[in-house]
């Protein structure tokens, strides 16, 4: 990779880490032939200041789903199952009269909403919360799942991201192959790709010399936690891997590898089956357009470690973080891939343009001679306007009229539902805010 491109990537990653107090990040950029850029930033463990490297193992969260989907498709190729099979023909699930297929589970279109099993287990295992729901065994899982049948919509109607559906797919792989899910994946995916250190197993993770410490990001600083590895979460989100080993996996998906899966079946995994916000979903992968190409990718989070992997027909990226920062790894990974391709990440990844424009508007405001004061601050993906009065505070959520804040026009909603126009006038010297009867000027 050209030096100016790698320098821009380094600057973006480092700036993100400083702004969000992220301990460590590792990334790898590939083309169809191999790794073109790879490095670690910061610390995989703050205690002892151990560096993050391209070989550091992180929890990749839901990026694991494509491995589970690939395992299912390997069994399809062997004639063990068909994607149109009812899951109830293979496992002890009871969805009543609703016919949920393997395809529905692969594409999150089963009609079952999230049942919060992953959230329950992650919180429990990192010691952050206890929700008081039995989930200590596979039997507990099936009881929880089968008891939720009245929560369902008809299969195929909606995209409901359903982690437990991938737990079922992991059990399907185990049942049909006669071996534990993690053993099947190791034998049929990890070993052929020389992903020798990638693992689902805590005992292997604990003895590896280059692993992340997971951090929970509280208000002041990152706090170390246990790694929330859980057997029920292996298929939906339990793999530990490094950007170096994930590079082999990404290139396999770009180039195909008949040792793992027939090319036609692999391409079926990358097809858009179910619409979702911002794109569609295939088999264990999100599918959208990025930089003018089909882009296949997936993010992952286990609350204390986040990840993103994705690829176009000619380039791919793996990015791993040992905490959950404010910036989604999806946005950072796509921005880095844009820079690696010699493009403008601000144009390719709207998140950054939107964020910079919101920063321009954030701050303290006052009217003529400071008689009326207000504050504008972030409110998730929106802005919040608060009038700072001595006796009472009046607060509005500011909803932008355009996705990228073009024209800096917003609206606020009053208690009776009336929409109030809000407009910012921005130039190099000043920012003014207009709402109702007021013109307010941003202070320094």
DSSP string, 174-191: HHHHTS-HHHHHIIIIIT
Same domain, 126 and 50: yes
Indicate the pTM of the whole model. 0.94
Identify the helix (H) or strand (E) that includes residue 222: strand 222-224
**pLDDT interval class at 428 (50, 70, 90):** confident
In the predicted structure, residue 167 carries a pLDDT above the cut 90: yes
How far apart are the C-alpha atoms of 24 and 204, rounded to whole Å?
Answer: 21
Single residue among 320, 348, 376 that ends a domain in this structure: 348
Which stretch of 67-81, 146-160, 214-228, 247-261 has the lowest confidence by average pLDDT? 214-228
Same domain, 268 and 389: no
In the three-class reduction of DSSP (H, G, I as helix; E, B as strand; rest coil), residue 387 is classed as strand
Tell me, letter by letter, the H, E, C secondary structure of 304-334: CCEEEEEECCCEEEEEEECCCCCCCHHHHHH
| Total count of domains within the chain | 2
Give the CATH number of the domain where residue 182 resides. Answer: 3.40.710.10
In the three-class reduction of DSSP (H, G, I as helix; E, B as strand; rest coil), residue 168 is classed as helix
Same domain, 303 and 426: no
Q: CA nearest 301: which of 243, 217, 238? A: 238
Vertex 75, ends 73 and 78: CA angle to 5°? 115
Same domain, 84 and 122: yes
Residues 6 or more apart whose Cβ sits within 8 Å of residue 159: 107, 108, 109, 274, 275, 276, 281
Same domain, 296 and 384: no
The whole domain housing 388 covers 355-442
Same domain, 337 and 370: no
**pLDDT interval class at 237 (50, 70, 90):** very high
What does the mean pLDDT of the chain come to?
Answer: 95
How confident is the model over 313-355, as pLDDT tens digits? 999 999 999 999 888 999 999 999 999 999 999 999 999 999 9
Cα-based distances in Å from 60 to 31, 227, 362, 376 = 21, 12, 33, 36
């Amino acid at each position: 990779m050209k030096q100016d491109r790698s320098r821009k990537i380094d600057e973006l990653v480092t700036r993100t880490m400083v702004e969000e107090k992220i301990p460590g990040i590792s990334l790898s950029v590939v083309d169809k032939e191999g790794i073109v850029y790879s490095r670690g930033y910061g610390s995989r463990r703050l205690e002892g200041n151990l560096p993050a490297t391209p070989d550091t193992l992180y929890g990749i969260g839901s990026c694991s789903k494509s491995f589970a989907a690939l395992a299912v498709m390997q069994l399809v190729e062997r004639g063990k199952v068909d994607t149109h099979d009812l899951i109830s023909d293979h496992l002890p699930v009871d969805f009543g009269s609703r016919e949920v297929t393997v395809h529905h589970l692969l594409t999150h279109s089963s009609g079952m909403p999230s049942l919060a099993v992953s959230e329950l287990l992650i919180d429990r295992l990192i010691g952050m919360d206890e929700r008081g729901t039995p989930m200590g065994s596979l039997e507990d899982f099936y009881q929880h799942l089968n008891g939720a049948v009245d929560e369902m919509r008809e299969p195929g109607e909606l995209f409901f991201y359903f982690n437990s559906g991938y737990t079922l797919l992991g059990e399907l792989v185990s049942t049909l192959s006669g071996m534990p899910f993690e053993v099947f994946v190791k034998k049929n995916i990890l070993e052929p790709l020389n992903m020798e250190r990638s693992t689902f197993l805590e005992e292997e993770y604990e003895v590896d010399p280059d692993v992340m410490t997971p951090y929970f990001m509280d208000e002041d600083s990152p706090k170390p936690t246990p790694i929330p590895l859980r057997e029920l979460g292996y298929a939906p989100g339990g793999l530990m891997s490094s950007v170096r080993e994930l590079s082999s996996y990404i290139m396999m998906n770009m180039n195909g590898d008949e040792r793992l899966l027939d090319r036609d079946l692999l391409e079926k995994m990358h097809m858009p089956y179910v619409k979702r916000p911002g794109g569609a979903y295939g088999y264990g992968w999100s599918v959208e357009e990025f930089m003018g190409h089909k882009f296949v990718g997936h993010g992952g989070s286990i609350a204390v470690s986040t990840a993103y992997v994705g690829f176009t027909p000619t380039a791919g990226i793996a990015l791993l973080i040992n905490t959950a920062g404010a910036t989604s790894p999806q946005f950072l990974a796509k921005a880095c891939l844009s820079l690696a391709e010699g493009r403008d990440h601000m144009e390719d990844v709207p998140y950054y343009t939107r964020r910079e424009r919101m920063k321009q508007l954030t701050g303290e405001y006052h009217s003529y001679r400071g008689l009326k004061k207000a504050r504008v601050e972030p409110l998730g993906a929106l802005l919040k306007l608060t009038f700072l009065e001595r006796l009472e505070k009046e607060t509005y959520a500011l909803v932008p009229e355009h996705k990228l804040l073009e024209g800096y026009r917003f609206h606020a909603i009053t208690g009776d539902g009336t929409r109030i126009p809000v407009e910012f006038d921005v130039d190099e010297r000043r920012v003014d805010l207009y709402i109702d009867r007021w013109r307010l000027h941003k202070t320094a």
